Amino acid sequence: MTDQQTEGKLNQTKGEIRKTWGDLTDDDVDQARGSVEKLVGKIQERTGEAADSIREKLGGILGSEERTSARQ
């Protein structure tokens, strides 16, 4: 996968995260890059949602991105 393809996948994932949690900004997601726990904390801070629920939704988003990548 090229750098451009990787960046495109990251942007798609970021878009899915922001679609799921509309209160999040691109900066929120960028600040947490590389740390799921930081992202969970940021989402909790913005939404008040339970951490387990956030992790479950993130797992679905990240899992669907991995399945999409595997097919290409």
H or E stretch covering 14:
helix 3-20
- Other C-beta atoms within 10 Å of 28: how many? 19
pLDDT score for 1? 65
Domains of the chain: total: 1
Domain residues for the domain of 7 are 3-71
For 55-70, write each residue's pLDDT tens digit. Answer: 999 989 888 665 545 4
Q: What is the pTM of this model?
A: 0.74
Residue 61 corresponds to which amino acid?
Answer: I
